[in-house]
Amino acid sequence: MKDYKRITLLSIILLWLTTSCNNSETSLLSPIATQNRTPSQIQLTEIGDFGIERKARPGIPAHLHTGIDIKRPGNNYIHEPIFPIATGTIISKRKDGPYAQLILEHKLERDSFWTLYEHIAEILVEVGQTVEPNTEIARYFNKEELDLYGWQFDHFHFEILKSAPSPIPPNSKTPERYFISNTLNCHDMEELTSHFYDPLIFLSSKE
C-alpha cells in the first residue's frame, strides 16, 4: 500500500475511534443510585434549587446557591452511595466533618468541566485517581453523622463548574484540599452563571 493511502486509512480509523469515544463520554448519569441513574430521577430539598438566595448566617455571607441539594433517594440511612456523573479525575479532597468535599475534573469533547460534592462521608477515592461513572466515591451521611452535624445536612450539595476551581495551599487540617470553588462568592446571576452551570439543566441536556 502506498504511504499516503496508509496514512489516509490510519486517519480514518483514528477519527472513528475519537468520535466513538466522545460519544460514550457525552452521556451523563445521575450521581445517585436511582433507576438506571437517569438525571430526571433527581429530587431536590425544599431550598435546594440552583440560584436560590441564601441569607447570611454566622460565619457564612449571603450568597446565591451555586449548586443543588440532592435529596437522599430512599430511606437508606446506613450506606446511600454517591457516584461521578462522568469519567473524571479526583483533584481535591477534604474529609473534615460536615464540609467534607470532593472536586473532580472531567473532559467532555473538547471542553473541561468540574463537579463538586459536599456534605459527604466515607470518601472512597484518592486525589489523582481516575474514576468511572460506576465508581462509588462516597456516601450520604448516615444517621449517626446527621445526629452529630445536624439534620439540615440530610442531602449532599452538588455543583458543576464552568471555570476551573482556584488552587489553594493545603494545610494540616485539610492536607488534600488543593482547590476551592466560588461557592460563597456569587451575589448576582451574572457572577453565578459565569462560574457555574445549573446542574439539572446541564445533566438533562446530555441525557
Phi, psi of 30 (to 5 degrees): -65, 145
Q: Per CB under 5 A, does 80 bind Zn ion? A: no
At closest approach, how far in Å is the CB of 67 from Zn ion?
5
Q: How many Å apart are CA 159 and CA 67, to the nearest integer? A: 4
Q: How many Å apart are CA 70 and CA 80, to the nearest integer? A: 12
Q: Which stretch binds Zn ion (CB under 5 A): 29-37, 67-75, 84-92, 173-181?
A: 67-75
Residue with cell 448519569: 29
Helix residue ranges per DSSP H, the chain: 3-26, 143-149, 189-195, 199-205
| Furthest CA-CA distance within the chain | 73
Residues 151-170 that bind Zn ion (CB under 5 A): 157
Contact string 116-155 vs Zn ion (x = CB under 5 A): ----------------------------------------
At closest approach, how far in Å is the CB of 180 from Zn ion?
15
Q: Which residues are within 8 A (CB) of 1 and not within 5 positions of it... i.e. 6 or more apart?
A: 9
At closest approach, how far in Å is the CB of 117 from Zn ion?
11
- Which is closer to Zn ion, CB of 25 or CB of 49? 49
Q: Which of 69, 80, 154, 159 binds Zn ion (CB under 5 A)?
A: 69
At closest approach, how far in Å is the CB of 183 from Zn ion?
8
At closest approach, how far in Å is the CB of 79 from Zn ion?
22
Q: DSSP letter at 170? A: -
Q: Which residues bind Zn ion (CB under 5 A)?
A: 69, 157
